[in-house]
Amino acid sequence: MYCSNCGSRVPDGELFCRNCGSEMNQTDVNVQEKLINRVRLETERSIKQSEVVQLAERSFLAGILTICFITFGVGIIAMGLAFYFGVRSNRLADELQIPREKKAKIGIMLACVPFVVGLLAGIVCGILAVCGVI
């Protein structure tokens, strides 16, 4: 505890300040204990608030990464299907000796979009998470 007169540190249980000789009364002790408890509670609350923020950031990152992985996965499936049907269409057109359809090429290119978007979004989120931005 501290002396209310000169501010010097006084060992607990002392009745007088060793620096200025002022009497240490019980109200000084009670006030100091209340201040110490208030600081302790504010510190604990601040620590808990930072934990809440960290958990919220992790939840946000997990949500973003889930979207990226789902988009990436759907992109792979869509790209595979478009590629399969496009190649089949082109082979059949070649066998029948008719011109190839442009729609097959466009379908394959369009199916690549979610794959590339998911891949890029996952990479960007990963970099931002490593850098501590997210």
pLDDT by position in tens, the chain (length 134):
677 778 788 887 777 888 888 777 666 556 667 777 788 888 888 888 888 888 887 777 777 777 777 777 777 777 777 777 777 887 888 888 888 777 777 777 777 777 777 778 777 877 777 777 76
Instruction: Give dist(CA 121, CA 126) in Å, integer.
Output: 8
3-state helix, strand, coil split of the chain in percent (to 5) is 75, 5, 20
Closest CA to 116 of 71, 66, 85, 77: 71
Instruction: Give dist(CA 127, CA 31) in Å, integer.
Output: 50
Instruction: Give dist(CA 105, CA 86) in Å, integer.
Output: 7
Instruction: Give dist(CA 4, CA 20) in Å, integer.
Output: 10
In a 13 Å sphere around the CA of 69, the CA atoms on its Cβ side amount to: 7
